[in-house]
Amino acid sequence: MLNADYIRSKIQDYKTDNYLDKLDDMVACLEEIIHGKAFRDEMSRFIPMDIQERTLQKEKFLVYLANETKKLLSEVRHIVTTENSNDA
């Protein structure tokens, strides 16, 4: 479960304008990012090769990662929009 207060606090701390638009943009390009070489190269710096072989190098895992990340971002969107509707 996500910490709604923490999320709201971080959005305010970073003074993020148009947060929902940026969130939507991220969701839209998430699969491209996760399947991209830059992401794979960056993650390979931190993840041992044997784990990469079981995860990042498997298409099924990349689909799973994209789907789970989208779910989390959807929860974040719900938290932010619920906050915004409560302010009205």
**Structurally, how many domains does the chain consist of?**
1
Question: For all residues of the chain together, what is the average pLDDT?
Answer: 92
Q: Could you give the percent of the chain with pLDDT greater than 90?
A: 86
For 61, the domain range is: 4-87
Closest listed residue to residue 66, CA positions, set 40, 22, 25, 34: 34
The per-residue pLDDT for range 31-74, each reduced to its tens digit, is: 999 999 999 999 999 999 999 999 999 999 999 999 999 999 99
Is a pLDDT exceeding 50 seen at residue 88? no
